[in-house]
Structure 1
Amino acid sequence: MPHPIRIHGFPLSGHTHRVELFASLAGIAHETITVDLAAGEHKQPPFLALNPAGQVPVIEDGGDVITDSNAILVYLARKYAPAWLPSDPLLEAEVQKFLTLAAGEIAFGPAAARLITVFNAPLDAEACKTVAARVLGKLDAHMDGRSFLVGDAPTIADAAAYAYLAHAPEGGISLDPYPNVRALLTNIEGLKGFKPMPVTRVGLAA
């Protein structure tokens, strides 16, 4: 890899964190470029030239630009860390299922609840908590007797799910009823190269 991957993102974004976390866990050389969301930098022409959707994260790999956090995870794993994306069709399908879960119920549940308390997002808190309870219950049952989400080793599915599960309490979502989810988070945190996402104070407007 002649040049490190450039990751354009925001430190308090779980979508950004999943890419930074995976790059760190997989030992992929990278540098991070902070995009000032509070100042609207993601809606300015220089950033929109990278991602017309105006969303973080975005990576640059040489002359290639990849957007969407889960797509970035798949790209990085395929190109630089294939052990993190199983080649077995059944296991790969399981990984894809959890990437969808991360973009769906995890995003609309614990992640959205955190957007309300941390960033004052105008969302329905009770609806977010209902979705969060459903997905956390589902994950806790799935994790019974398992160390990681798919198979016997960590995959990009774990990187995709980690931040918004670990930071669910910032959105008023307790993880106390979900011991298997908490064990998963502990296992991910114990991996070599683990990088935490900063903890934010509830009520912080950003």
Structure 2
Amino acid sequence: MIRLYASEMSGNAHKVRMALAFLGLEWDEQATDAAARSTDAFLALNPMGQIPVYAEGDFTLRDSQAILAYLAARHRPGDWDGHTPEERGAITVWLSHAANEIFNGPALLRAERLFGWSVDTARAAAVADRILPVVEAHLAGADWLVGNRPTIADLAASPYLALAPDGGIDLEQWPAIGAWTRRIAALPNFPAMPGWPAEGGA
């Protein structure tokens, strides 16, 4: 049985939750709060003390982008992680944006408001101001970030953009991003989370 160490409000954990749900896999979700992440038992799984962590048998893997890459290679090779070198390169660009600009901009603004994180608000807002126009322009001419179907690029980049209003970002100003996150939320088996409901009863 797959175990996912996560928390309900974590966008990074939700990336993996979406992948598992879309793949039709069953998993046991272990609610892992800040106190649990500081225990010796958890640090043995992830010495960084962060969620999500994926565990299956003796195999464990940390970092949401790495877990998505693993799940794609194991269960949806090509379709989710790129059929060509060009697609694989483009997908990697979005994985990098998800871990860097999207996290250090919209995600940190949300964490400050919802969880009281100590954040350099001006810097996070400046990072958000750089990445949001890039994503908006890209999606203005495409339904998905890479190719003609959802890939792990979409799974990696979407949660903290869908949840950007929690950080004071008005998605009405970014209609292509809003439409894209609603397309993802309308996919079969989409797992809703607080701040990102399913669309159309999916």
Specify the SS of the correspondent of 2:183: helix
The yes-or-no answer on 1:181 pairing with 2:177 is yes
Instruction: Give the percent of matched residue pairs that are identical in Structure 1 and Structure 2.
Output: 38
Instruction: Give per-residue Cα distances to partners, 1:20-58, cap 9 Å, x unaligned.
Output: 011111222222111122xx1101011111111111110
CA distance in 2, matches of 1:145, 1:85: 21
CA distance in 1, matches of 2:158, 2:21: 14
Unaligned runs of 5+ in 2: 197-202
| Inter-partner Cα distance in structure 2 for 1:108 and 1:61 | 30
- 2:9 corresponding residue in structure 1: 12
Residue 51 (str. 1) matches residue 46 (str. 2): yes
Query: Could you tell me which amino acid in structure 2 is paired with residue 198 of structure 1?
Result: P
- Normalised by the length of structure 2, the TM-score is 0.93
| Separation of aligned partners in 2, 1:198 and 1:144 | 26
- Residues 94-103 or 131-140, more deviating: 131-140
Cα root mean square deviation, aligned: 1.3
Q: Does 1:70 align with 2:49?
A: no
Report matched runs for 1:8-157 at 5 Å: 8-37=5-34, 40-82=35-77, 83-157=79-153
Quick one: higher RCO (CA 8 Å, sep 6+), 1 or 2?
1
Greater than 3 Å deviation, 4+ residue runs: none
With normalisation by structure 1, the TM-score equals 0.91
In structure 2, what residue type is equivalent to 1:34?
Answer: A
Structure 1 unpaired stretches of 5+: 201-206
> Does the aligned pair in 2 maintain the 1:85–1:95 contact within 8 Å?
yes
Question: Whole-Å Cα distance in 2 between the matches of residues 72 and 156 of structure 1?
Answer: 10
- Determine the C-alpha separation between the residues in 2 that align with 1:109 and 1:5: 31
